[in-house]
Structure 1
Amino acid sequence: MFYFALISSVGGLLLMCFERWHPVTLENVSLLLGVGVTATLAQLAMTRAYKVGRKLTAANLSYLTVCVSCLLGALVWGDILTMDSLLAMGLIMISGMLAGRR
């Protein structure tokens, strides 16, 4: 968990160097806190799932986060899903089902 947070922080800092900085305001601080808290809880849950659960099932479900985030982007923010993204999501789901059959 520590190394994930460390690498994510350093990587995020490096990526921020190439973008325009936006100040933290009262309007966006709740969003930032929400993202931070939910990301921490999700990482703790995934770490526990790999520790006590079936590892192959946990891995397959973690790959589904790509599909869920794409669908949420389309539903909540109006992102457009291209045929390539739909095919990629289908490939992720099919490979997870095939890997889970073992």
Structure 2
Amino acid sequence: MITIITHVGLKKGAEPEWDMAMRERLASARQRPGWVGGQLLIPLDGIDRRVIVGTWLTRADWEAWHNDPTFQETRRRLDGLEAESSRHEWHEVIEDVRKPATPLGAAA
């Protein structure tokens, strides 16, 4: 497995629109071959920044996702909302440990 961590700086006031477009993109990724999971993060010290953590079985799966129509449409929307070029970091996953999922509303 591989994880890509992307750091993004947003234009002031663009945060809600950017978040909505990114949520659409992540929802479409769930249907893609090789998708493992992802997170959209807001740094505690930067309301105008985002960190995207995406995990895929292979980098080729991630690259193929870029041909998805939803990805391409959201890319056009997101480009106009970002203040700077994003920065990517690739990591090989050596272990992925998570608590079993609990349905929303269920007692943990």
Fold shared by both chains (TM-score > 0.5): no
Bigger RCO (CA 8 Å, 6+ sep): 2
